[in-house]
Amino acid sequence: MDWPIKSLSKNSAQSGQSFKAGDEVVCVVFQNAAGELERADFLKSEYSPEKFKGGFVGKWERKVGENPQEDERRFRRMALAGAEDLFMSLFDGESADIEQKDTLKQMLALLLERKRVLRPVGRPQNGAQRYVHAATKREFSVAQKDLTQELVLNIQKQINAFIL
């Protein structure tokens, strides 16, 4: 299951200002009023976490490069790092408790395990799998849900808003 991160938008979701080389951008995943996951990109100076209270899911940051084609290639290489940052931010205290959060954590953990960013520790116990982040040695406990086809398709549909 590979989900390359969707290309950076060309404008800030806050001001509509075009991104230019050297700009620092914050990419935010949040739950909208309809309960679906969405992504918005902001200039770092415009990003305000208060806007997403109760719906914040996760975020990652990136810097806009000089050459759009090279930037896109570099961004594709950074996709794994974005998925890693998103996974880790799902465990931060600011992240809202949304219905599919555990499933999203589990799906990202499986992707990161496959890429050897996370390492499972033992077998699942009490409905959770422990993982160790290879670089930081930080441990995560990920609930093990029954990933039915319907549930995975529902999450994938929502993920398409910010991944792919």
Under DSSP, is residue 27 helix (H, G, I), strand (E, B) or coil? strand
Q: Which of 83, 161, 153, 76 is nearest to 117 (CA)?
A: 83
Q: Is the Cβ–Cβ distance between 120 and 130 less than 8 Å?
A: yes
Q: Where are the domains of the chain?
A: 24-159
- Percent of residues, the chain, with pLDDT higher than 90: 24
Q: CA dist 1 to 68, 73, 84, 107, 146, Å?
A: 27, 20, 14, 8, 16
Q: Render pLDDT for 102-115 as a digit per residue (tens, 0 to 9).
A: 888 888 898 888 88
Q: What is the full per-residue pLDDT of the chain (164 aa) written as tens digits?
A: 344 445 668 899 999 999 988 899 998 888 888 777 788 899 999 998 888 877 888 888 888 877 656 666 666 666 666 778 888 888 876 666 666 788 888 888 988 888 889 999 999 999 999 999 999 999 999 998 887 777 777 666 666 555 54
Task: Quote the DSSP letter at residue 132.
Answer: E
Question: Tokens representing 156?
Answer: 């994938």
* pTM for the full predicted model: 0.55
